[in-house]
Structure 1
Amino acid sequence: MAVENVSVGFKVYCLTVMTLVAATYTVSLRYTRTIPSGELYFSTTAVCLTEVIKLFLSLGMLAKETGSPSRLKNSVMEHIFYSPKELLKLSVPSIVYAIQNNMAFLALSNLDAAVYQVTYQLKIPCTALCTVLMLHRSLSRLQWGSVFMLCVGVTLVQWKPVEATKVQIEQNPYLDSWPSPSPSSALDSQARVYFEKVLKSSDTSLWVRNIQMYLSGIVVTLIGVFVTDGDKVQEKGFFFGYTPWVCFVVFLASVGGLYTSVVVKYTDNIMKGFSAAAAIVLSTVASVLLFGLQITLTFASGALLVCVSIYLYGLPKQDTTKLPRPEADKELKEKLLPV
């Protein structure tokens, strides 16, 4: 398995950027869906446009990596046009991401940004399970305990839904009380673990893998546009309802998608979840200021449990395999005996 060696500082930088992008994206998306300044835009077109932008950004990064137009052309021909099996392989996460991204718009049309951020952390136990099954890794008892704690925290957050006094549209009461990010987080975790497995199982460039995935993603999301909003798009236009805020959301989604690939490539996939605690805090503060979110005791308790569980989950596992069992027991007794 090919794993890149990078500095701790670079990993911290990536996770910090991911935290800021995740919090800002969630709050901005919630704003565009609940406090519109005009007619509401089509979420399917925003998801499709995001895939297009990510494709062009990945092509730019691949051009920088290859160093010359001729090498870029050769790389694209080799890995895109002459590798249909690889394109098919990367179509799996692209389909899942397309569904997940559209579900995010649905969820944030009915859930507050802070509630969404907390509930969406169900991706951590889903990712943990997928990691064990697909990547054959093991989790410590502390990690499994933190997963259980996280589920309890999410349950508390959803127990009595919080209210936002400044939201200007009517929300679906069923989706508002049901943890709609749950299936989204399950899909997200499966796609990320699958993508991690593909990335780290070969030496193929990260940007080549992104291009392969985004090409499939564009096709899938275009189908989604015409199946879901085809008549409306033909009548009003692809960019109907777009405002600077909507463009900002699309930009954040594009940057976030690329940074997710970098995090998956250069760190462990589930490391991305550790920045979620800070994103929850930032989203909560922004929700109070922008949407008039009323914090309840159950929400605060649940959010705290989720943050603590994320911290515990990220603690390094103790290595007990270096010493044979008898020698390990002997060393432990020596440490416990008084001097």
Structure 2
Amino acid sequence: MKVSVVFKVYCLTVMTLVAATYTVTLRYTRTVSSDMYFSTTAVCVSELIKLVLSLGMLSKETGSPTRLKNVLVEHVFCSPKELLKLSVPSIVYAVQNNMAFLALSNLDAAVYQVTYQLKIPCTALCTVLMLNRSLSRLQWFSVFMLCGGVTLVQWKPAQSTKVQIEQNPFLGFVAIAIAVVCSGFAGVYFEKVLKSSDTSLWVRNIQMYISGIVVTLIGVYINDGEKVLENGFFFGYTPMVCFVVLLASVGGLYTSVVVKYTDNIMKGFSAAAAIVLSTVASVFMFGLQITFSFASGALLVCVSIYLYGLPKTETSKLNRQDDDKHSKQRLITV
């Protein structure tokens, strides 16, 4: 039991550090570099690394090169329909990842971290519409609380004093809005595809990342084709940029693996802790000046994440207590 608790704490720590570090370092690379790298190439390289890592995990899962070859032939090379099916989240995730770069080019890391939690109500809505699930009243309440918190954060956002580049906060918020919609839809779509068959998670990831590489390469050609030909694919890449790409690649895969060892409360606590860490880092690195509305909104978001992630037994108990209270009120009224 003690080992289990230690491992859960380890998972929580890693998820928190990955989320916070990725946001802060990405913001740093988009605000201090003189030779700005192309975000489209970073997203493309990230997809390539994810594909390689997924192939490695599938190789470990199958246990032999022969079985690995048979699985790839059956589910990848001979399954064009499945590849086409997984191209949908590939396109959506590609848009989401590029929007993250655009958002962090125009908003502070702490503001981004808080606002990006809008993915929770977006995912909840997609879950209700696409998977025919229902949310408890406490979850709906937490969703509205989260939206209110984000509104407070955006009402008078915190400002960074050490960032000299020109920024457009409105453009940054629009980019986050697009990113959260993409995150909610793609996540639920991918979950629906996973549950529609017994195909391995790593096979599905490989199918998605193959499509993702094609999609992101098209994005590189459309958005930065001429600049890439002139300056090179890896123009502006520094060790910090490489670290950001590595975090983007490993972070998502690692989180998807360790999530099964944690519960919703821990995931919510991880998100809240990432917000706190991003805020503290932004104060020291970017001279972030925290406003009262930002602090209040961030607190509301953290509380709402906790409430949304409460186990069903807890929410059911709270709902029953709420129903009993209303029943007594109706009896008194009568």
Instruction: Judge same fold: TM > 0.5, yes or no.
Output: yes
Q: 1:263 touches 1:272 (CA, 8 Å); kept in 2?
A: no
In the alignment, which residue of structure 2 is the partner of 1:117? 113
Q: 1:59 touches 1:211 (CA, 8 Å); kept in 2?
A: yes
Instruction: Tell me by how many angstroms 1:206 deviates.
Output: 1.2
Q: TM-score scaled to structure 1, two decimals? A: 0.87
Q: How has the CA–CA distance of structure 1 residues 273 and 216 changed in structure 2, closer, same or farther, with 3 Å as cutoff?
A: farther
Structure-2 separation of matches of 1:68 and 1:245:
36
Letter of the 1:154 counterpart: V
Letter of the 2:27 counterpart: R
Deviations 1:152-185 (A, max 9, x none): 0000000012110111311125325x45312211
Instruction: Tell me by how many angstroms 1:257 deviates.
Output: 2.3
Q: How has the CA–CA distance of structure 1 residues 23 and 319 changed in structure 2, closer, same or farther, with 3 Å as cutoff?
A: closer
Picking from 245, 253, 256, the partner of 1:258 is 253
Instruction: Tell me by how many angstroms 1:19 deviates.
Output: 2.0
2:272 corresponds to 1:277: yes
Structure-1 separation of matches of 2:136 and 2:110:
29
In the alignment, which residue of structure 1 is the partner of 2:79? 83
Q: How has the CA–CA distance of structure 1 residues 34 and 70 changed in structure 2, closer, same or farther, with 3 Å as cutoff?
A: same
Q: 2:118 touches 2:180 (CA, 8 Å); kept in 1?
A: yes
Structure-2 separation of matches of 1:161 and 1:276:
20
Instruction: Tell me by how many angstroms 1:269 deviates.
Output: 9.2
Deviations 1:5-37 (A, max 9, x none): xx787666545422221111000000000011x
2:98 corresponds to 1:102: yes
**Equivalent pairs: percent with the same residue?**
82
Q: 2:136 touches 2:315 (CA, 8 Å); kept in 1?
A: no
Structure-2 separation of matches of 1:278 and 1:174:
26
Deviations 1:252-304 (A, max 9, x none): 00012213443677778998555211110110011011101001100000000
Picking from 193, 197, 201, the partner of 2:196 is 201
Pairing 1:122-133 to 2, within 5 Å after superposition:
122-133=118-129
2:163 corresponds to 1:172: no
Letter of the 1:230 counterpart: G
Letter of the 1:34 counterpart: T
Report runs of 4+ in structure 1 exceeding 4 Å deviation: 7-15, 263-274, 319-322
Picking from 61, 64, 71, the partner of 2:60 is 64
Runs of 5+ consecutive residues of structure 1 not aligned to the other structure: 1-6, 334-339
Structure-2 separation of matches of 1:101 and 1:270:
26
Structure-2 separation of matches of 1:321 and 1:44:
45
Q: 1:263 touches 1:269 (CA, 8 Å); kept in 2?
A: no
What do you get for the CA RMSD once the two structures are aligned?
2.6
- The alignment partner of 1:34 has SS state of coil
In the alignment, which residue of structure 2 is the partner of 1:303? 298
Q: TM-score scaled to structure 2, two decimals? A: 0.88
Q: 1:118 touches 1:303 (CA, 8 Å); kept in 2?
A: yes
In the alignment, which residue of structure 2 is the partner of 1:234? 229
Instruction: Tell me by how many angstroms 1:318 deviates.
Output: 3.7
Structure-1 separation of matches of 2:118 and 2:57:
32
- The alignment partner of 2:289 has SS state of coil
